[in-house]
Amino acid sequence: MPLIPVSIDERELIEPIADGPSVAAAAPGRKLAATLRHGADALELHDDRLGQLIGELRVTEDAADVVAGHVTAAARMLAAGGGVPIPRVSVDEIVVDEAHPAVLEADHLVRVRVAELRRRAAQGTQRERWEGLAVGSVVSVALAVLGWFATVRTGVIPSDAVSRVQGALAVVAGRDPHPESIGFIWGPFPTLFQVPFVSLRSVWPDLAARAVAAVLVSAVCTGVLIAQLLAWGRDLGSPRWSRLAVALLTLASPLVLLYGANGMSEATWMCALVVAARQLALWARTDRLGSLVVAGVAIGVAYLTRYETAAAALGALAFVAVISAGRRPGDDGWDRGTVGGELGRTARRFREVALDVAILSFPIGAAVVGWSAASYLIVGEPLAQLSSEYGNSALVRAAAGVIESIIGDTSVPGRVGFFVQQLVVAAPMLVPLVLVTAWVGGRRATSGAAALCVLGAPLALQLVLAGAGSTFPWFRYVVGAVVLSGVLAMVLTGASSTRTAGWLRPVAVCCLLPGVLWSWAVVTSGDLGARDDQLVVDAMRTVRDGGEVAESDSVIARGQAVAADVDDVPDARAGSVLTDASSTYAVVAAAERPEVFIIPSDRDFEAVVSDPATFGVRYVLLRLPSSAGDAVIAAHPGLATDQDANFERVRTWGEDGDDAGRYVLYRVLNPRGEPRPTPDEGFLD
């Protein structure tokens, strides 16, 4: 047996052990530990060096493959030039001995090469994922800063955003906080996502008082939306320059940029729908069950954000049914020439299509049925958004005059034409993008069809509602057309086996420019139902130029002023001020002590509003004009005109016609008992 050379350090370690346990016991522990550490370090260095050598070997192998290919090609050219025939051996003529060393070596090289390619692909995928994360994070931060500027510095953001903040606040603070305070009129998720932020109002009061919580939610959702758009481009092999160009042009539209920073529900809704559409496109290409499940969950989230998602759900189910029926061979082994075989294949095809549709529809159905059941059990109405006095139908009826002033012609053709005009301005190249996507065919057409079914279906529903006069003519309702155009442009920039990609990519990117320019022109002018957007843009310009926004133009500033004054009233304590937060949401959200107010989400509100004096109420706060269904005015119609002898006007904030609204505080004459800080069973006695 050959001798193994031993270093001095190793002999110092071995010799005490060989001399016996007594000598080994006498060896210093520190010397042993140092020797072990030295050996471990040496092994680690050898391992690193071995890894480097393997990497160099792989690089050399790749280079050798290239050189061998060049040599073979050169040899063939020389032989052909000298007139030497080179026989072409058919693959069928080769007898392969799988045990031959050459075959084994070739098999090994193929496996190594496949592993290397997979490793490189994984590294590339990881880098691309970081791209989406980085861009999405930058977008979210930028929109959060923009939204902070709009709401904190100017105090001008849409009223619906402030209203949702008040709903989130009612869940965690107030006289009767509970989860049901989130309400069942509108989808719960935009408000629910704000609850964690609003719960930190003691650390940063502006989260509730100035609706910063709503801004943070919309900013994050828009960042995810842009990241998903980039991921869609990567799925289809779109080059980085075109991916980024499409994403930035989509973001540049005011319907994406402003609504990603103003706390409205559009950002959350579009984010969920884009996730659903992308997952459906992935499922159509890979038939992966996970993608179908994620798509269903995303549509369920979208439904609990905006109810127009019902149309998107139908479009997605139709897409799945068509794709599933087209890809299933229905071959179950029966004889193709018999009637039984045909029936068997048809039955199997039907079962497989039904299974795919059921997988997608389960989370959607759970969202729809679960939310309707909760609404029925708690408020007694399964579809409160349609039947409630606070719902959309009531709001549209109450705003008939405003709608007519915006549209002008309120006939069916006039309303439809107005909506089509909004579509053309926001996404003028939408129809050409749809047609070109269908023309290129292949997986790009399939991805475009998924986007059209999910994002286009709500636009079709909105067109029907506009013709029926059942919706508002706000410009923001065509945001889906902007996002759909961005998705289709991204799809067209994907990889292609034809030469069309060379000119199609820049054309697809440029198709987004007209919509961006025209939309900004409409927003800055306030036309086509974009007056709320114009107010936000004008306010930011005013503050940027060193001016100040008047309190009469700021819902937030007026709400803070009223909340501070009510808080200073000497006998204003918990349960002493009755108000309907559907009208006075800005005041309740800005209140340092929201428990002072009795609001509709309090479980004793109906009893209190019917007889405020009996329940110890000291004051009633109104906002004029009030929202449709304001319960206080409905119970005491003479209050707003000072015709009710049971109340006395104490103070007024603002004037008629103020964008921020006019608030009036009334004192309850002859109250009986003390205000109740929390609801209790005695209220119903």
The pLDDT-based confidence of 685 (bands split at 50, 70, 90) is very low
List of residues 6+ apart from 291 with CB closer than 8 A: 279, 280, 282, 283
DSSP string, 525-589: HT-TT-HHHHHHHHHHHHHHTT----GGG-HHHHHHHHHHHHHTSTT--TT-EEE-HHHHHHHHH
**Per-residue tokens: 464:** 């029907």
DSSP string, 215-233: HHHHHHHHHHHHHHHHHHH
pLDDT 10s digits, 361-407:
999 999 999 999 999 988 888 888 777 777 777 788 888 888 899 99
pLDDT for res 125: 55
pLDDT 10s digits, 313-353:
999 999 999 999 987 554 444 444 444 556 667 788 888 89
- For residue 146, the surrounding DSSP H or E stretch is helix 101-148
pLDDT 10s digits, 174-198:
999 999 899 888 899 999 999 999 9
pLDDT 10s digits, 602-637:
999 999 999 999 999 999 999 988 888 899 999 999
pTM above 0.85, yes or no: no
List of residues 6+ apart from 214 with CB closer than 8 A: 157, 161, 162, 164, 165, 190, 194, 262, 263, 264
CA distances from 382 to 3, 25, 221, 367, 575 (A): 88, 82, 28, 13, 30
Query: Which of 24-28, 199-203, 249-253, 299-303 shows the lowest per-residue confidence on average (mean pLDDT)?
Result: 24-28
State how far the Cα of 225 lies from the Cα of 159, in Å rounded to an integer.
24
**Domains present along the chain, CATH in parentheses:** 1-40 (no CATH), 130-157+211-329+355-538 (no CATH), 553-684 (3.40.190)
Query: Do the bridges between strand 662-668 and strand 619-624 make them parallel or antiparallel, or are there none, so unpaired?
Result: antiparallel
Query: Which of 75-79, 292-296, 381-385, 407-411 shows the lowest per-residue confidence on average (mean pLDDT)?
Result: 75-79
Classify the phi-psi angles of 563: left when phi > 0, otherwise alpha if psi is within -120 to 50, otherwise beta: alpha
Percentage of the chain lying above the pLDDT 70 cut? 77
pLDDT 10s digits, 102-123:
555 555 666 665 566 556 545 5
List of residues 6+ apart from 3 with CB closer than 8 A: none
Query: Which of 78-82, 475-479, 493-497 shows the lowest per-residue confidence on average (mean pLDDT)?
Result: 78-82
626 DSSP assignment? P
Scored b (16 or more CB within 10 A) or e, 476-507 reads bbbbbbbbbbbbbbbbbbbebeeeebeebbeb
Burial class (CB in 10 A: 0-12, 13-18, 19+), 549: buried
pLDDT for res 73: 63
The pLDDT-based confidence of 294 (bands split at 50, 70, 90) is very high
Mean pLDDT of 227-234: 96
pLDDT for res 361: 97
Query: Do the bridges between strand 662-668 and strand 647-653 make them parallel or antiparallel, or are there none, so unpaired?
Result: antiparallel
Helix/strand/coil percentages in the chain, nearest 5? 70, 5, 30
Q: Does 177 sit behind a cis peptide bond, omega within 30 degrees of 0 on the bond before it?
A: no
Mean pLDDT of 231-235: 94
pLDDT for res 402: 86
CA 679 to chain centre: 37
DSSP string, 397-422: HHTHHHHHHHHS--SHHHHHHHHHHH
Mean pLDDT of 154-175: 95
pLDDT for res 429: 97
pLDDT for res 218: 98
pLDDT for res 682: 57
Structural contact between residues 352 and 328, judged by C-beta atoms closer than 8 angstroms:
yes
